[in-house]
Structure 1
Amino acid sequence: MSETLSYKIRTAEGKDAEAVLAIQQAVISEGEYFIAVSDEFNKTEQQQREWIQGLLENDRETIIVAEVKGEVIGWIVFQSEKRKRMSHKGSFGLMISDSYRGLGIGEKLLRALLDWAEANPLIEKVSLGVFSTNHRAISLYKRMGFVEEGRKIQEYKLNDHVYVDDILMYKLV
């Protein structure tokens, strides 16, 4: 990749469903940092399009994509809590195509999400859960001001003898 990679960060649209789904399927198939495994994830492009549309119709939710030369290469989604006493907060998920990792795109997507949350009077807290083994992501979140608020011990069982903790992090906006 070129050091002068030119990319655009924007709110997702329904037309991005195929690319968003392809990235999600690829990340899940890597099997390293995602809760679902490939055979559990069978969302269709139409379901993905409806999911994106539902996010965009909710004032407390959003999905933002990064694109290079018109191709979506990463995305971040923020989903809110439905209950009234929890509606001031939500959590996000972030996925980047393998060949575009390590170039600062995740940081740009997260910055765009935080800017959106800070400008949104309905959102006060941005949260996430991250595998304790995902050191690159944890480092990014800490650089962006997120703080660990808890840990679920052995939350995920990767195989018969390997467990991973779920680190819970947050940032007030």
Structure 2
Amino acid sequence: MLDIINNQNCVIRTGKLEDAEALLEISNSVISEGEYFITVSEELEKKSLKEQREQIQEVLNNEKATLIVAEINDVVVGSIVFRSNKLKRLSHTGSISMSINENYRGLGIGKLLLRALLGWAETHPLIEKVSLGVFSTNQRAISLYQSMGFIEEGRKVKEFKINENKYVDDILMYKFV
């Protein structure tokens, strides 16, 4: 799928092993920002390129999972991953996680990735529900998810302890496809 973002071609496509280095870089960058990610940088064990490739291969080999990336000018700038639950009674559900390079946020790439993911889920014969968790302080992401039809189904109050005096709720959202 081709879209125009900031007068540049933005390609939304299925991820592949060759994307491992770029995806690892984006992931490490988002974690180092420390604002909306559970893992903090000092806890981060640097994932090797080999481990990143193994994770991508695991997703590519799973018929109920997908990896979708956004690239601008042949550079991967974001991704969204869907993983389903292996338990039979939860196998109709799955959760997503999305990461976008900080320099490309606010341009609509998240919406393009989410639209592509939901399109994939809607045509998948086994997937009925897409779920996610988001920091209650991440208003931009919450607005995006709401605009795409996601509904808050719960909240884990003070789920994340940012520092001695600051906590953040985990907002649980879903969308039936």
Fold agreement, TM-score > 0.5: yes
State the TM-score bracket (shorter-chain normalisation).
over 0.9
2:19 is matched with 16
The Cα shift of 1:3 comes to 2.8
SS of residue matched to 2:30: helix
| Stretch deviating more after TM superposition (69-78 or 2-11) | 2-11
| Stretch deviating more after TM superposition (79-88 or 138-147) | 79-88
Does residue 36 of structure 1 match 2:23?
no
CA distance in 2, matches of 1:18, 1:98: 17
SS of residue matched to 2:127: coil
**CA deviation map 1:126-168 (0-9, x unaligned):** 0000000000000000000000000000000011111000000
CA distance in 1, matches of 2:29, 2:80: 15
Paired AA for residue 12 in structure 2: I
Normalising by structure 1, report the TM-score.
0.97
SS of residue matched to 1:7: strand
CA distance in 1, matches of 2:85, 2:70: 25
Paired AA for residue 74 in structure 1: G
Normalising by structure 2, report the TM-score.
0.95
Paired AA for residue 12 in structure 1: G
CA distance in 1, matches of 2:152, 2:31: 24
| Within-5 A mapping of 1:46-125 | 46-125=50-129
1:131 is matched with 135
**CA deviation map 1:99-135 (0-9, x unaligned):** 1111000000000000000010110000000000000
Kindly report structure 1 stretches of 4+ aligned residues shifted beyond 4 Å: none
SS of residue matched to 2:96: strand
Q: Where does structure 1 lack aligned partners over 5 or more consecutive residues?
A: none
Q: 142, 145, 153: which one pairs with 2:146?
A: 142
CA distance in 1, matches of 2:8, 2:111: 14
How many residues are matched? 172
SS of residue matched to 1:53: helix
The Cα shift of 1:69 comes to 1.3
CA distance in 2, matches of 1:139, 1:64: 21
Paired AA for residue 39 in structure 1: E
The Cα shift of 1:38 comes to 1.3
Q: 154, 166, 175: which one pairs with 1:171?
A: 175
**CA deviation map 1:62-110 (0-9, x unaligned):** 1100001111000000111111110110100111101111100000000
Paired AA for residue 62 in structure 1: T
Contact 2:8/2:73 (8 A) holds in 1: no
CA distance in 1, matches of 2:121, 2:54: 22
- State the Cα RMSD in Å: 0.9
Paired AA for residue 21 in structure 2: E
CA distance in 2, matches of 1:159, 1:48: 30
Paired AA for residue 165 in structure 1: D
